[in-house]
Amino acid sequence: MRLEEVLVEGAPRPIGPYSQAVICGDLVFCSGQIGLDPVSGAMVGDDVSVQAERAVLNLKAVLENAGASLSTVVKTTLYLVDMADFSAVNNVYARHFGDAKPARSTVAVASLPKGAKVELDAIAFIPRRS
């Protein structure tokens, strides 16, 4: 099976030696997205809800470029620097994922790149690739 790299202009470019996502068969494996503005590459702010919103929008751009969507996500991992932010991030997450309720893990971490407060990665399926 051939691996296909995904590179999207509507999401921040990788800040290290990795792909925004990789397609393998009918699955897309997305790297973690943080609250970076895709144009400037700067963090969108210090508020965790604002960062979470941008991270989800970045993830959405990567998924859509790969032929998937938030509604085809089967698994996410959410990384939080402060578990006290769990509720605020859940509100953003629920608004974007709606009725789609992928499996999810939430992990407390000591720090994230660029001082981010939240990071989100995902695995999704690509409906009927041609």
pLDDT in tens, 43-82: 999 999 999 999 999 999 999 999 999 999 999 999 999 9
Going by C-beta distance under 8 Å and a sequence separation of 6 or more, which residues neighbour residue 63? 21, 28, 30, 69, 70, 72, 73, 122, 124
Which CATH number is 3-125's, of 3.30.1330.40, 3.40.1670.10, 3.40.50.1820, 3.40.50.300?
Answer: 3.30.1330.40
pLDDT value, residue 129:
58
pLDDT in tens, 80-120: 999 999 999 999 999 999 898 999 999 999 999 999 999 99
Please list, residue by residue across 42-63, b when 16 or more beta carbons sit within 10 angstroms of its beta carbon and e when fewer do. ebbeeebbbbbbbbbbbbbbbb
Q: What residues does 5 pair with on adjacent strands?
A: 22
In the chain, domain spans: 3-125
